Amino acid sequence: MTVEVWTAENTTPADIDAALRKLLEEQHVRGEGLAPARVLNMVTVVDASWRGEILNRLERVGRYHPSRTILCAVEDGRETIDASARLSADGTGDPNLISVVEERVDIRMGQAHLRRLDAIVDPLILSDLTTVVWAPHGHHEAIEAMRGLADVVLLDASDDPNPARAIQWVCGLQDHAYVVDLAWLRGTPWRERIAATFDPPEWRPALRQISKVVVRHRPDSIVSGVLMLGWLSSRLGWSPGSLVEGDSGRRRGRARAGKTEVALELDPVHDLGAPGLGGITLETADGSKLSLDRSEGGLAAKRHTRDGRESSWVVLGASRGEAGILGEGIRQALLRDPTYGPAVRCAGAMLS
């Protein structure tokens, strides 16, 4: 591990930029087999008191770590900017191999700086690379300030305790940037498995016969649940109506699917460990039923056909954990999922 560090108090973005270039030049002069990573710029805005926790999360992201991380730690009452810059390379020690250098800038700033975060960050981002902004502790004003600079907003729509407000906010952001939503990514294995279940040609007609969908979710992951219903609605051409909250947080509603209706249900499940979905059950008009539920080593699948036959199996796959989902979020910043936007719009209709 090679680490180079520069620090300064009451500094300016121009000084930080100059320091980064100098650190890189010094590495080149030493002639080590090092090359700076050029994947993306990651601008992360955090509460100063949680800075270490966020750094740990980014460290755990491992292989998806962005090439230049600009970590803006916000302190109440601070009026000046202090900064440090560091280059680190985690090589194998093999002189024949090139080690990739990651760059990190730590900036301590005040709340007032967030309104012009773009001006502070602009000199520090690598042009021509995708710029991602992530503000895991709220700080929506930082994301607003970065509208002209950020290509991608990384967020977790489940962070907002009000799911309707969260979805509405996401819909607004999508006009300006590509949104990568961790709440959506938690549902990826579920979407893949549902798609696989209905993929054999003999099963595809059943997609038009779905009569009821029940999504089970951790109580704080309503957004993941409603995004799953939104995905099914948008992909299958359903027009969902509002979900109505009933006993124990259960939400029910209906979607119009051509001449028929589909019953939609979100069920909170209290004993789930990790956030996200706990299970999903799809029923068809002819009495078939498919359910997927979290289990050890993957998803437990159970199919009940109209002739009364039952079969169950485990769909293999390791839990990605929250670090894996964050890593996937960063990776998704360089891809484009055309199904998220329509799913969010349907989710919005259900929560209106």
Give how far the C-alpha of residue 84 lies from the chain's centroid of Cα atoms, to the nearest Å.
27
Question: Which residues are paired to 134 by β-bridges?
Answer: 44, 154
Among 51, 139, 193, 218, binds other proteins (CB under 8 A): 193
Nearest to 66 by CA among 39, 101, 44: 39
Q: Note whether 172 binds other proteins by CB under 8 A.
A: no
Nearest to 277 by CA among 341, 188, 206, 210: 188
Residue 204 touching other proteins (CB under 8 A): yes
Write out the E strands in 199-304.
Answer: 210-217, 239-240, 244-245, 251-257, 260-268, 277-284, 289-295, 298-304
Does 200 engage in binding with other proteins (CB under 8 A)? yes
Helix orientation angle between 188-197 and 222-236, rounded to the nearest 10 degrees: 40
Of 24, 236, 263, 269, the residue at the interface with other proteins (CB under 8 A) is 236
* Residue of the chain from 2, 130, 168, 197 that contacts other proteins (CB under 8 A): 197
Work out whether 306 is an interface residue with other proteins (CB under 8 A). Answer: no
Q: Is 29 in the site for other proteins (CB under 8 A)?
A: no
Q: How far is the CB of 323 from other proteins (least distance, A)?
A: 14
Q: Would you give the binding string for other proteins spanning residues 37-66, x where CB under 8 A is met?
A: xxx-----------------------xxxx
Select 219 or 317, whichever has its Cβ closest to other proteins.
317
Other residues' Cβ atoms within 10 Å of the Cβ of residue 98: 13
Q: At 14, which helix (H) or strand (E)?
A: helix 13-30
Take residue 332 and report the two structure tokens written for it.
């998704």
**# chain residues binding other proteins, by CB under 8 A:** 56
Distances (CA, A) of 350 to 146, 170, 173, 228, 280: 30, 15, 19, 11, 17
Nearer to other proteins, 11 or 332 (CB): 332
Nearest CB to other proteins, comparing residues 237 and 246: 237
Q: Give the type of residue at 348.
A: G
Binding mask 96-135 toward other proteins (x if CB under 8 A, else -) reads xxx-x-----------------------------------
The only residue of 36, 268, 279, 329 in contact with other proteins, by rule CB under 8 A: 36
Query: Element (H or E) spanning 110, and its range?
Result: strand 99-110
Question: Distance between terminal CA atoms of the chain?
Answer: 52
Q: Which stretch binds other proteins (CB under 8 A): 6-14, 24-32, 113-121, 197-205?
A: 197-205
Asked if residue 208 binds other proteins (CB under 8 A), the reply is: yes
Q: Which is nearer to other proteins, 48 or 323 (CB)?
A: 323
Q: Is 198 near other proteins (CB under 8 A)?
A: yes
By CB under 8 A, the residues from 329 to 348 that bind other proteins are 331, 335, 337-340
Which H or E element spans position 229?
A: helix 222-236
Least distance between other proteins and beta carbon 146 (Å): 22
Distance separating alpha carbons of residues 171 and 174, to the nearest angstrom: 5
Nearer to other proteins, 64 or 134 (CB): 64
**Rounded-to-integer distance, Cα 223 and Cα 185, Å:** 11
In a 13 Å sphere around the CA of 160, the CA atoms on its Cβ side amount to 18
Strand 130-134 versus strand 40-47 pairing type: parallel
Residues near other proteins (CB under 8 A): 35-39, 63-67, 96-98, 100, 188-189, 191-202, 204-205, 207-208, 232, 235-237, 296-298, 301, 305, 309, 311, 313-319, 331, 335, 337-340
